[in-house]
Amino acid sequence: MIPIEERFLRPSVMGVVNVTPDSFSDGGLHLDPDVAAAAARRMVEDGAAIVDIGGESTRPGSAGVSVEEELQRVVPVLDRLCGEVPLSIDTSKASVARAALERGAILVNDVTALRSDPELADVVAASGAYLCLMHMQGEPRTMQEEPRYDDVAQEVASFLEGRMRFAVAHGISQERICLDPGIGFGKTVAHNLELVRRLDVLLALGRPVLVGFSRKSSLRSLTGSDDLLGASVAAAVAAFERGATILRVHDVKPHVDALTVAAAVA
Ligand code: HH2
C-alpha cells in the first residue's frame, strides 16, 4: 500500500455511514443494508475518497454492542460494497476489522487507538491496511461528564505519539497511520475549538491528520441551531486551513464543494 498521504491527498473527504439504531446524527437511517450501500455509493459519486462504515455508536452515554451484533450490522453492507467503494471500518474490535479487511476495506478507524482489543494491532499489521488512531479521554459512557486538560493540544499530541509508537512496535508502518484529535470525545466546546486552532501541535508529529467535526454537538452549542450543515462545513474548512488532510463528514457534497474552493484559494 502506498503511504497514506499519497493515497489521500489534502483535502480528502471521508463519508460516514453508521449502520446503527442510535448514532447521534444518522442513527437508524442506514439499518437496511441496501439503503446503507446506496448511501455509500452516492457519497463516492459526490466526491468522497473513502466511506467509513460503523456498526457501533460512540455517542456520549452509549454502552457498546457485542461482536455478533456489530458483525450482523456491518457485514451485509460491506458485502454489497466490496470491490466497488473504497472502505474504512469504524471499529475497535479485531474480528469486525478482520471481516472488513477480508471484504476489501483499506483503512481501520479505531476510536480507542488500539487500546480496547489486544488483537487489533496484529490484524492491522498483517493486512497492510491504513490505520486511524484517535484520541479519547475516558470512554463513551462517561467521557462528557467533566473533561479536563492542562494543555489540550499538547496532551492529545503526546497521547497520539504514544499510540503511534505502540502501533509501530506491533509492525504497523508509520506511513500507513493518520492521527485524529477526536473532536467531542471527552472534550468541551472550548477544547474542541482549541484543538482545531492549534492543529499544528498535532501536525508536528509528522503524520496526516483526520478531523471529524461533522454534526457534533459543539456546533449546536455555538450556533444554537439544530441544522448543523453550515456549521459542519465551516468547521471542516477551518480544520483544512490549519492543515487537516482527511475530513470525516456526513454530508459529502457540500463538504467536497467547500473544500474544493478552500483548496483553490490556498
Ligand atoms: N466520530 C465519531 C465516530 N467515529 N472516528 C474518527 N476517526 N473521528 C471522529 O471524530 C469520529 C469517529 C462520532 O460520530 P458519528 O459516527 O456520527 O456518531 P456515532 O459514534 O454515534 O455513530
For residue 12, how far is its CA from the centre of ligand 1 (angstroms)?
17
Ligand 1 atom with minimal separation from the 54 CA = 22
Mean pLDDT of 35-40: 98
Domains, the chain, with CATH or none: 8-265 (3.20.20.20)
Model confidence over 157-166: pLDDT tens digits? 999 999 999 9
CB 89 within 8 A of CB 107: yes
Query: 35 vs 77, 84, 130, 144, 240, CA distance in Å?
Result: 9, 16, 26, 32, 30
Model confidence over 5-16: pLDDT tens digits? 999 999 999 999
CA pair distance 190, 63, nearest whole angstrom: 25
Q: Is 248 marked active-site? A: yes
Quick check: helix, strand or coil at residue 263?
helix
Would the CB of 10 count as within 6 Å of ligand 1? no
CB 21 within 8 A of CB 27: yes
Give residue 24's pLDDT. Answer: 73
Q: Could you tell me the pLDDT band of residue 248, with boundaries at 50, 70 and 90? A: very high
For residue 25, is pLDDT > 80?
no
Please give the single-letter amino acid code of residue 234: A
For residue 27, is pLDDT > 80?
no
Ligand 1 atom with minimal separation from the 182 CA = 10
Looking at per-residue pLDDT, the higher value among 143 and 114 belongs to 114
Q: Which of 130, 134, 156 to mutate to test the pocket of ligand 1 (most atoms within 8 A of CB)?
A: 134
255: left (phi over 0), alpha (psi -120 to 50) or beta: alpha
For residue 9, how far is its CA from the centre of ligand 1 (angstroms)?
21
Mean pLDDT of 234-239: 98
Model confidence over 92-139: pLDDT tens digits? 999 999 999 999 999 999 999 999 999 999 999 999 999 999 999 988
Ligand 1 atom with minimal separation from the 20 CA = 22
pTM tops 0.85, yes or no: yes
Residue tagged 444554537 (cell numbers): 224
Would the CB of 192 count as within 6 Å of ligand 1? no
For residue 130, the cross-strand partners are 107
Q: Could you tell me the pLDDT band of residue 144, with boundaries at 50, 70 and 90? A: confident
Would the CB of 18 count as within 6 Å of ligand 1? yes
Residue-averaged pLDDT of the chain: 96
Looking at per-residue pLDDT, the higher value among 89 and 29 belongs to 89
Give residue 255's pLDDT. Answer: 99
Give residue 28's pLDDT. Answer: 83
Mean pLDDT of 17-42: 90
For residue 43, is pLDDT > 80?
yes
Mean pLDDT of 212-241: 98
Q: Could you tell me the pLDDT band of residue 254, with boundaries at 50, 70 and 90? A: very high
The percent of residues in the chain predicted with pLDDT above 70, rounded, is 100
Q: Is 187 marked active-site? A: no
Q: E-strand spans in 155-239?
A: 177-180, 210-211
Mean pLDDT of 202-209: 98
CA pair distance 69, 117, nearest whole angstrom: 16
